[in-house]
Amino acid sequence: MKFTSTSLVFLGMMTVFATTPQVNAQVVAPVVVAENNAIQLLNQGVKKADAGDFASAIADFTAAIQLNPRYSLAYYNRGLTYYDQGNYKAALEDYNQAIQINQNWGKITIFSAYLNRGNILDDMGDSKGAIADYNQGIKMQPRDSLIYYNRGLAYYNLGDKKSALADYTKAIKLNNWTDSGAYIAYLNRGNIYSEMDNTEAALADYTQAIRFKPDYALAYKNRGVLYLDMGEQQLGMQDLQKSAEFYQQQGNRKKYEQVLQILKETQK
């Protein structure tokens, strides 16, 4: 049974919405009033987006931009909302504006915009453009595990397994994840090792992924398939059965049935 790379996972790592502290202006000059109103609209839009009311959130971010056309954070948040809706083109345009203007970021930095724009470009098939943005982000924050992980995905999409492997290794070594564990990087690095016929390293990485996340159905599946390829049928069956159990517990019927099919084919 040939092990494929279709099990590679993409970590959803778009940076979360950012708010700006409310400002009680002591001066009532029109420019100050407009800026304060823009801040209020942005914070209002963030609350609506968090509640799932994306259309109203976009309207608020747009109104904030109309009051302050150089409000990078408003473009950033509107771009993130468009991304969540699957409107990558509009999201890309907003991140282009946010990065070009590069003003009024509040607590967010331009690093987050480069990271998110890189994600959008890679989703749109422009992995080279994504890598360029990740490179910019790494210059700003060279010890961020997540951006190395994402650049590794982009390199893999370009067929550059060597660079992808190096980036996953860097992400694992830094191990300073903000919203996820290193288990995903171990899984993806294990996939590459498997494709390179480095069975020992692949098994070690799948095992590490499972140690970090004991209910990681995908890691059990990949390790099980690899064991089968090695002729270790008993170990492979055990892992695949574990994978099926976890997929069933997690309510992933499609993946559960896929693993059951592999088990049936193995028993023939």
For residue range 154-175, what is the model confidence (pLDDT) as tens digits? 999 999 999 999 999 999 999 9
Question: Is the pLDDT confidence value at 18 over 60?
Answer: no
Element (H, E) at 201: helix 199-212
- For residue 27 the two structure tokens come to 């001066």
* The pLDDT of residue 33: 67
pLDDT in tens, 177-212: 876 679 999 999 999 999 999 999 999 999 999 999
For the chain, the residue count is 268
Residue 177: predicted pLDDT: 84
Q: Name the band, by pLDDT with cuts 50, 70 and 90, for residue 254.
A: very high
Nearest to 182 by CA among 151, 165, 205: 205
Considering only the C-alpha atoms of the chain, give the largest distance between any 2 of them, rounded to a whole number of Å. Answer: 80
What are the tokens at 203? 């098994």
Measured CA to CA in angstroms, residue 8 lies from 53, 60, 70, 152, 212 at distances of: 31, 37, 39, 11, 17
Asked if the model's pLDDT at residue 94 lies above 50, the reply is: yes
Provide CB contacts within 8 A for 226, sequence distance 6+.
Answer: 3, 194, 199, 202, 203, 206, 236
Specify the pTM.
0.85
pLDDT in tens, 20-69: 443 333 444 445 667 789 999 999 999 999 899 999 999 999 999 999 99
Asked if 220 contacts 237 with a C-beta cutoff of 8 angstroms, the reply is no
Q: What is the pLDDT of residue 26?
A: 41
Residues 190 and 222 sit within 8 Å (Cβ to Cβ): yes
| Phi, psi (rounded to 5 degrees) for 8 | -55, 135
